Amino acid sequence: MYLYSICFVIGLSFFVLFATFAPSWFSIIFAVLGLLFIKVWCDVSTEIEAEELEKENKRRERENRRFL
């Protein structure tokens, strides 16, 4: 999870630094790369949360079957 947080910070810093302070084609490319880093971070973190919820649901189903 730390790796994805680092990706988010890198992406956000690319976007903020290059999109606001240096308006040129070069900075636009880095701003887009920053947004891509952020998108990857959001996708991966959503995937991780979904897997954790799925594990929790399976555990609850097993517990419910045990009590029936």
Rounded to whole angstroms, the Cα distance separating 57 from 7 reads 29
Which residues in the chain land under pLDDT 70? Answer: 1-5, 7, 19, 21-23, 27, 68
> What is the domain count for the chain?
1
Could you write out the DSSP letters of every residue in 1-68?
A: -HHHHHHHHHHHHHHHHHHHH--SHHHHHHHHHHHHHHHHHHHHHHHHHHHHHHHHHHHHHHHHHHH-
Write down the pTM of the prediction.
Answer: 0.51
Cα distances from 7 to residues 26, 53, 68, in angstroms, run 20, 23, 45
Give the pLDDT confidence score for residue 58 in this predicted structure: 93
24: domain range? 2-67
